[in-house]
Structure 1
Amino acid sequence: MRIKKSTKALAAAASLAMMATVGLSACGGSSNDAETTADGKVKITMWHGFSEADGKTLESIVKDFNKSQDKYEIDAQLQPWSTIGETMVTKVTSGDGPDFVTTGADNGQGWSIDGTFQCVTDFYDDKDSGTDEYIENVVDQITFNIDGSEEKCGVPMGYAPTAVWYNTDMWKAAGLTDADYPQTWDELLEVAKKLTKSDGSQYGIALPDLGWAPFLKGNGTGIYTTDGKVSINTKENKAFLEKMRDFYKGGYSVSGMDETAARESFESGQSAMVIVGPWEDQASTDKGINHDLFPVPNGDGTYVYPDGTKGSNTGSTGLYWWVTSQVGDSAKKQGIYDFFKFYNNHDN
């Protein structure tokens, strides 16, 4: 999915651990004081968690922005995703945190409501910001009710769908061809079994046993119904989870993995497949893994999406930029807004 109608934005992803936080002023401070660099530029701190090729791309864009003008200097700091979630709120409270960060809409909503993030409706109100080119449903994801007022609280950073990446050497060795691309979830599990070696030296798929919201929608009824009712304990969900329990017990995937461990299993040659976003392409190339991809196959779930479809197991990562409340109305805010415009232009 493109963030702008004319823009191919950086595809990057990851998710932050949501944590309980205590109140800050939603409006932020009003000080015009801001730290400056030795050459007089306003220093702005960014936190991000992109540690691979996507991080190099982001750093390149930041470098180009810093060279493009003489008022602001973005300091892009790499932080583990978990560290951002664990430490950001405390540091922002003391005024020693990042000025802006990237995370998803779910985390961003909570932090916007409690005041850790300050909303950016004024950025959208500026006709020169380019926000009229943003896709409507992408903006809807970060439009929240803040103290009774509808506010836009984030700026699109990147969207990326998941796919099944597979080791082409292992695929061929198992006698599989393009005709064997699975069309259903059950077929995917059968392919994984064919790619598994009984001596434990090779697993069919590196499948994390967390973050299963898309799978429960694609194969069951989802965690919640579309009207917000809890539906985790349905017979359809139970049947799917029992099927996957048997799959793990059969030794076709390592159990107890998160997404990072699953990717490492694939990139080390331990597992033949993994379900992850497009950043896997460069990571696998760097590790010398010959690879290709096919769509995540549908299941037979009964969850109905707003467009009327059902059975999809495809997840996606949607990331946004968020301004922290320590920025307030200081000189940093305009520099951050200028970066948002720069980042989401056509070339970048």
Structure 2
Amino acid sequence: MPIAGVNVTYDPNTLVNDGKPIELDWWAWTNVEQFQAIADAYSEIHPNVVINVVNQPWEDYWTKLPLELQSGGGPALFNVHNSQHENLIANMEPYDIDPADLEADYAGAASHLIDGETHYIDLGLMSGAIYYNTDMWEAAGLTDADIPTTWDEFREVAKALTIRDGDQLRQAGFNFNSGGHTMQAGLAYQLGQNLFEADGSTPAIDNEANLEVIQRFVDIYADGSGDPDFGAAGTDSFGQGLSAMTYAWGWFSGTLKNDYPDLNWSAFQTPVPEAGETPYALDRYNGESTFGINANASEAEKEVAQDFLRYFLTDAESMKELSLIFSVFPAYKPIADDPVFAENPALAAFGEIDRYIWPGPIPATFETTTATMWEEILFNGVAPEEALAAAQATIEKDLSGKDFVSSEGLYAFYSGN
């Protein structure tokens, strides 16, 4: 059989576990059928190996898996979400693959290096885009030529898409309710502002860049193009056909397909501050992670797991299928130009892939605290300057004594604050 892969390679013409029977469990919380199909295809090459994909619901996964691993048990393979990095990393076996080969084949792989070792990488990348209702777009007399590339243009398009009956908002031009914190974490990068100071540990929230981001969207609501009380969540309002535009990450395309199949929509790249100028970074991104290997597994299980890992990382068709299922831009560079990805508007909305920045598995306080900050601004009339200062203080307190260090410094265009 041919050797697969480009830099990371897989040779199927070798015995695994000396041909002796062996069985591994692989825990997953979603897409179990697809993962089992990959495991079964591997078993067709190595009939002595059986890999059972075990469905562990998300609600229990992050309680059950860390406890199993910490007690020295657990499955040989388990799917990873990088938000749970600290709960898993101590019990993860490093990948037996040259990090340089991983970086050559997988975008962003270097950002997951810890002391020269890799324990998981991204199989696909997800970031934000502007979703728009194409029926509302056409009804407003807009065409593809009107897709905004700057925030000033976006503000005018939001006005054009807004419908009011007197003082009553009937159709929001743009709705970011419950999503302000998601935008906040990424769009200050457009202005050259990192989430962390140069030491990688001190949060950088209370600054002019974040204030500008807040004021931009406060002004759009002040125009009358949206309202904090017009639906609890912008994404829900969009799906219900009440709002013409919203900001969301790639997962939203799957939600629209499943929950709102009759809605006509598309997406475009998030606008930037200045026309014709590439910003420091377009937005932050996060990844759909590859699986981890249990450091407590037997030597035989780890040997098979490492072999299966190479098979998994060089299986181009499965990587393409998983990227489409998860609505992520493929991290596997050999398939990045496949035209099938241009058929998904959310993936096609990605800009230059190397202009997105990953801050690392940032602590949850960033999301919860900035979500509270936006509630204070929109519903309690707190001045943005005060809300930012309060958020800065809260996040600093929450991170006190923690060992978190940002991955921002690994960004190819990194510039410290």
**TM-score interval, normalised by the smaller of the two chains:** 0.5 to 0.7
Specify the alignment match of 2:172 in structure 1.
203
In 1, Cα distance between equivalents of 2:290 and 2:196 = 27
* Match among 265, 280, 296 for residue 270 of structure 2: 296
Specify the alignment match of 1:187 in structure 2.
153
Please tell me the residue identity of whatever aligns with 1:173: A
SS at match of 2:136: helix
Specify the alignment match of 2:290 in structure 1.
321
The 1:210–1:154 alpha-carbon spacing in structure 2 relative to 1, beyond 3 Å, is same
Structure 1 residue 143, shift from structure 2 partner: 0.7
Matching of residues 56-135 of structure 1 within 5 Å: 57-58=34-35, 60-70=37-47, 71-77=49-55, 79-80=57-58, 83-95=60-72, 97-98=74-75, 99-104=77-82, 107-108=84-85, 110-111=86-87, 115-120=90-95, 123-125=96-98, 131=102, 133-135=104-106
Please tell me the residue identity of whatever aligns with 1:119: P
Structure 1 residue 75, shift from structure 2 partner: 0.9
SS at match of 1:153: coil
Q: Is the 8 A contact 1:209 1:256 kept in 2?
A: no
Residue by residue, what CA displacement relative to the aligned partner does 1:215-248 show, whole Å, maximum 9, x if unpaired? 1222472322455354321123223323334445
Identical-pair percentage: 22
The 1:88–1:227 alpha-carbon spacing in structure 2 relative to 1, beyond 3 Å, is same
Q: Is the 8 A contact 1:91 1:97 kept in 2?
A: yes
Please tell me the residue identity of whatever aligns with 1:240: V
Specify the alignment match of 2:204 in structure 1.
231
* Match among 177, 180, 186 for residue 143 of structure 2: 177
* Match among 303, 320, 333 for residue 334 of structure 1: 303
SS at match of 2:53: strand
In 2, Cα distance between equivalents of 1:269 and 1:314 = 27
SS at match of 2:317: coil
RMSD: 3.8
* Match among 22, 47, 51 for residue 28 of structure 2: 47
In 1, Cα distance between equivalents of 2:294 and 2:149 = 47
Higher helix share: 2
SS at match of 1:119: coil
Higher relative contact order (CA 8 A, sep 6+): 1
Q: Is the 8 A contact 1:168 1:291 kept in 2?
A: yes
Please tell me the residue identity of whatever aligns with 2:288: L
Structure 1 residue 332, shift from structure 2 partner: 3.1
Q: Is the 8 A contact 1:93 1:326 kept in 2?
A: no
Q: Is the 8 A contact 1:163 1:314 kept in 2?
A: no
SS at match of 2:108: helix
In 2, Cα distance between equivalents of 1:270 and 1:141 = 40
SS at match of 1:43: strand
Specify the alignment match of 2:214 in structure 1.
241
Q: Is the 8 A contact 1:62 1:76 kept in 2?
A: no
Specify the alignment match of 1:346 in structure 2.
316
Residue by residue, what CA displacement relative to the aligned partner does 1:102-124 show, whole Å, maximum 9, x if unpaired? 223x653x3465x143322xx21
SS at match of 2:114: strand
Q: May I ask how many residue pairs the two structures share in their alignment?
A: 287
Q: Which runs of 5+ in 2 are unaligned?
A: 9-20, 319-417
In 2, Cα distance between equivalents of 1:257 and 1:220 = 32
SS at match of 1:166: strand
Please tell me the residue identity of whatever aligns with 2:94: C
Q: Is the 8 A contact 1:297 1:312 kept in 2?
A: no
Specify the alignment match of 1:216 in structure 2.
188
SS at match of 1:289: coil
Please tell me the residue identity of whatever aligns with 2:245: M
In 1, Cα distance between equivalents of 2:213 and 2:103 = 42
In 2, Cα distance between equivalents of 1:275 and 1:78 = 30
Matching of residues 130-145 of structure 1 within 5 Å: 131=102, 133-135=104-106, 138-145=108-115
Residue by residue, what CA displacement relative to the aligned partner does 1:144-197 show, whole Å, maximum 9, x if unpaired? 13xxxx322214422244332221111111221112111112322332333233
Specify the alignment match of 2:15 in structure 1.
none
Please tell me the residue identity of whatever aligns with 2:151: W
Q: Is the 8 A contact 1:43 1:73 kept in 2?
A: yes
Q: Is the 8 A contact 2:74 2:294 kept in 1?
A: no
Q: Is the 8 A contact 1:48 1:102 kept in 2?
A: no
SS at match of 2:142: coil
The 1:185–1:107 alpha-carbon spacing in structure 2 relative to 1, beyond 3 Å, is farther
Please tell me the residue identity of whatever aligns with 2:113: T
In 1, Cα distance between equivalents of 2:231 and 2:42 = 38
Q: Is the 8 A contact 2:7 2:105 kept in 1?
A: no
Structure 1 residue 142, shift from structure 2 partner: 1.2
In 1, Cα distance between equivalents of 2:215 and 2:175 = 18
The 1:274–1:339 alpha-carbon spacing in structure 2 relative to 1, beyond 3 Å, is farther
Specify the alignment match of 2:409 in structure 1.
none
